[in-house]
Structures are given as structure tokens and as C-alpha cells.
Amino acid sequence: MRHAPIDPQFFISNRRRLMRLLPPGSIALVNANDIPPTNSDGTLRPVPNSDLFYLTGVEQEESILLIFPDADDERLREILFLRETSELISIWEGHKLSREAARETTGIRNVQWISEFPKFLHRLMCEADHVWLNSNEHKRADIVVTSREARFVRGLQERYPLHQYHRLARLMHRLRIVKQPTEVELLKQACAITRDGFERVSRFVQPGVSEHEVEAEFAHEFIRQRGNFAYNPIIASGPNACILHYNDNDRPCRDGDLLLLDVAANYANYNADLTRTIPVNGRFTQRQRQVYEAVLRVLRASIAGLKPGTKPKHWQEAAEEMMARECVDLGLLKTSDLRENPEDPMKRPVKKYFMHGLGHPLGLDVHDVGFTTEPFAAGWVMTVEPGLYLRDEGFGVRLENDVLITDKGPVDLMADIPIEPDDIEKLMA
């Protein structure tokens, strides 16, 4: 665990809130993620299951959480099952959670080794009527491999076919979309590390450095502060900025280029998400500044539009209307284009220059879970990331901040990260 310990009361509270959503006679089960394989005998670093971490703080493979609020034996109402360690495992893989350490981390008193799971499960399934199982229900997920959770669901349904099975993701999405105070503080920490990385890079960038060298500067600052990259960094100079998910990061940064930096830190599994666009030589050209200030105006107005009760799709539409007017002023669209409103939103004229979403929920996942067909509510954290991509002119501008929605107005969690063009130039100087 690279990050500082988190108060177990946070995880205890999260489990209690989940229990209140479960109907009588319900068991809920959450598995750790698989360790991702690569080639030969290689593996990637394990990625903690977000729901398991949210409910327990456990990041270890082969872990299972069982919650059964109505269990007759009070000791069996929440049980954490862990992979049992050994001297051989400690030599080859290092530290694993002991049962006592797991109790301190999670606040769960009943911690068992995973070998005991079938016995406890059968006993409690005989008492239960409803079983809540997890799955990846993110709308944009392209699921092409069978996960540990999916294998578990299939095996359990084969063994106990007469129970009533339910989708735990529906409950977890409702819980996780509203951030608790502890989560907001962790997100602020991720944003602070991101700020320091951005300021370091802004002082480093000059004509001749390579995109991969810029990536290395971010890595130095993030890891130095006990963080990681929240996602694959996008370091896109010149025309590369018009590739939305550019990841090659191998082009030299040239005099006169803009450099789009979509890079942010992860801290304690919570993610920031930042985009800034800076001039490689430290000074915007007149045209670059015009486009930059247009995007910045849309960003400012869109942050102000993050109000409880507003639907995300209406927020997106308002930003597209603003951006379309900016495109007219920039000579990219004609006034007549503003009247075009085809049924397919992707065919609107502005989409040639601003073709992606305005923002998404943020938290334990960069594209965090939640019901984005419902109106915004206090406690959501949203990214705000308008952009303009001028392929014919060889550059793009995207700006992005992370914003907490409250009943008293939006709170910009990245307000202290330079964004005004004059501030960017001053920082780079």
C-alpha cells in the first residue's frame, strides 16, 4: 500500500449504507479483480476492484467480501475472506494481509482464509433468499474477457439455481456517484499531486524536448508523492493534439507547437483528470490564444452550469451551443450553421471541431460509475473538458478541471492549477 492509511470508519460507513439498500434476506458478494496476464509467465500490477476497495479498503488479490445483514449469527453478517499467506509467498511476493491487519484496515471483525469460503457460503445461502452479485455495467465498457467476478457468478448460479439473483452494480452505482467527505479529500490530494506535476512540466518544456521526456517528468513528480498515473498519459504536441486518445508520446516538441497535456495522478485509488494546453516556446501565437480563450470561456460557463437538477445531456447541449458560437467567431463555422440541428447529435456542424463529451463522473474510476441519465446531484464530482481540434491548422486545444457539485454552487478542485493564458506564459517563463 503506497498511500497513507485511510480511516476504517469510511469503509464501515460505506458497508452500512449498502446494507440499508438490501431487501430482507439478502447476501451481497464482491470479489477482487484478477491479476492481469501479459505474455509468457508475465503479469501486470494488480488493479484493485473499485467496489471491493470502496467497501473494505482491501487491494489484495483473491479476496471476497460477504455481507448478510439478516444472518442469524451476528458474527456472520459481514465476513472478509483473504488468500492465506505463507513463508514461500512472503519470499516471492512480499507482504500479504494478516487477519489482524485486515481487521484494522477494514473494521471487519470476522476475517477468514479463502479456503474456508465454501463452508461459510453454503451455510449462509441456506438462510438467504436474495443474492446480489457484481458485474461491470459501465456503458462504455467493451468486455471481451471473462473476469473473476463473471466466473464466480456463473459458478454460484449453477450450484444454487433457485435463489433470486440481483445486480449489485445498480446499488453500488447509486452509492459511489455521491462522494463522501473522505473521498473528496482523497480527490483533492490527487489533484494537488497533479498540480505539482503540471507545474514541474511547464518549467521543463521547451523546443526540442520529446513527448516521452515530458511524460517522465510527470512520472517523477507523481511517484515521488506516493501517486501513480490515473490513466495512460496523453502528451500530444502539434497535430497529435487532434488525436483524442493519443498515447505514442514519441514526437519532438517543436518551436511554435502547442502541447496538449491530458495527464493526472491517482492517489489511494482515487483519480484526478486534468488537461492543459501550453505553448512549447512559452508564448501563444495570436491564433492559438484566440482558440485557447474560446475553449476557456466554454469551460468557465460549463463549470457554472454544474447545478443539482440539471441533466447531463442538457449540460452537454448547452456547451455545444456555446462552442458553436465560438466557432463562428473563429471563422470555423458560418452563422447559418447555428440553425442546423439534425436529429443525430453527432451530425451537428460543431462536432467537426468538438466531437467528444463535455465531462464524466470521477472517483475510484476515471470514468466513474453512476446514473448519468439522471440529473446532477450534490456530491457528484464531474470533469469539465471542452476542446477545439483544428486538424487543418495542425493544433488542438483542450482544457479540463475536476468539479464538485454542491447545493451552494460548483467547487473547482483544480482552481489553483494555472489555466489563464497569461498565467501559463508566466509559469513557463
The predicted structure's pLDDT at residue 225: 97
Q: Number of structural domains, the chain?
A: 2
Mean pLDDT of 157-181: 98
The yes-or-no verdict on residue 334 having pLDDT over 90 is yes
Cell 462536432 belongs to residue: 351
- 1: closest CA among 56, 60, 44? 60
User: Residue 319: enclosing H or E segment and its boundaries?
Assistant: helix 312-329
The predicted structure's pLDDT at residue 86: 86
Choose the final residue of a domain: 176, 210, 231.
176
Same domain, yes or no: 30 and 169: yes
The predicted structure's pLDDT at residue 93: 87
Tell me whether residue 103 is in a domain: yes
Q: Is 117 exposed, middle or buried (0-12, 13-18, 19+ CB in 10 A)?
A: middle
| CATH (domain of 244) | 3.90.230.10
94 falls in which pLDDT band (50, 70, 90)? confident
- 291: closest CA among 242, 223, 358? 242
Mean pLDDT of 62-85: 97
The predicted structure's pLDDT at residue 261: 98
The yes-or-no verdict on residue 340 having pLDDT over 90 is no
**Pairing mode, strands 26-31 and 130-133:** parallel
CB-CB contact of 52 with 13 (8 Å) = no
Segment 198-247, tens digit of pLDDT: 999 999 999 999 999 999 999 999 999 999 999 999 999 999 999 999 99
Segment 265-276, tens digit of pLDDT: 999 999 999 999
Same domain, yes or no: 169 and 188: no
The predicted structure's pLDDT at residue 333: 97
The predicted structure's pLDDT at residue 341: 80
Segment 129-159, tens digit of pLDDT: 999 999 999 988 888 889 999 999 999 999 9
Mean pLDDT of 277-285: 98
Segment 7-39, tens digit of pLDDT: 999 999 999 999 999 999 999 999 999 999 999
Same domain, yes or no: 274 and 420: yes
Q: Please give the angle made by the CA atoms of 306, 308 and 310, to the nearest 5 degrees.
A: 70
Mean pLDDT of 76-85: 96
- The overall average pLDDT reported for the chain is 96
Same domain, yes or no: 142 and 198: no
The yes-or-no verdict on residue 1 having pLDDT over 80 is no
The yes-or-no verdict on residue 388 having pLDDT over 90 is yes
Distance CA 382, CA 405 (A): 8
The yes-or-no verdict on residue 87 having pLDDT over 90 is no
Q: What percent of the chain has pLDDT over 70?
A: 100
The predicted structure's pLDDT at residue 79: 98
Tell me whether residue 1 is in a domain: no
Same domain, yes or no: 76 and 134: yes
3-state helix vs strand vs coil in the chain, percent to 5: 40, 15, 45
Same domain, yes or no: 254 and 393: yes
Same domain, yes or no: 63 and 211: no
Q: Which of 128-132, 152-156, 299-303, 337-341 has the lowest mean pLDDT?
A: 337-341
The predicted structure's pLDDT at residue 343: 79
The predicted structure's pLDDT at residue 143: 87
Tell me whether residue 2 is in a domain: no
Mean pLDDT of 370-382: 97
Kindly list the catalytic residues: 41, 245, 262, 273, 356, 360, 367, 385, 389, 398, 400
64 falls in which pLDDT band (50, 70, 90)? very high
Residues near 41 by beta carbon (within 8 Å), at least 6 away in sequence: none
The predicted structure's pLDDT at residue 397: 98
The yes-or-no verdict on residue 77 having pLDDT over 90 is yes
Total length of the chain: 429
Q: What percent of the chain has pLDDT over 90?
A: 92
The yes-or-no verdict on residue 420 having pLDDT over 80 is yes
Same domain, yes or no: 246 and 362: yes
Q: How many CA atoms lie within 13 A of 60 on its CB side?
A: 25
Tell me whether residue 3 is in a domain: no
The predicted structure's pLDDT at residue 358: 98
The predicted structure's pLDDT at residue 182: 98
Mean pLDDT of 362-373: 97
Mean pLDDT of 109-131: 98
CB-CB contact of 50 with 147 (8 Å) = no
- Write the DSSP symbol of residue 347: G
Segment 343-355, tens digit of pLDDT: 788 889 999 999 9
Whole-number Cα distances in Å, 429 to 222, 242, 280, 292, 336: 23, 26, 11, 19, 42
Same domain, yes or no: 162 and 188: no
- For 203, the grid coordinates are 518549467
Tell me whether residue 171 is in a domain: yes
91 falls in which pLDDT band (50, 70, 90)? confident
pTM of the entire predicted model: 0.96
Q: Which domain holds residue 311?
A: 181-428
The predicted structure's pLDDT at residue 298: 98
Same domain, yes or no: 150 and 203: no
98 falls in which pLDDT band (50, 70, 90)? very high
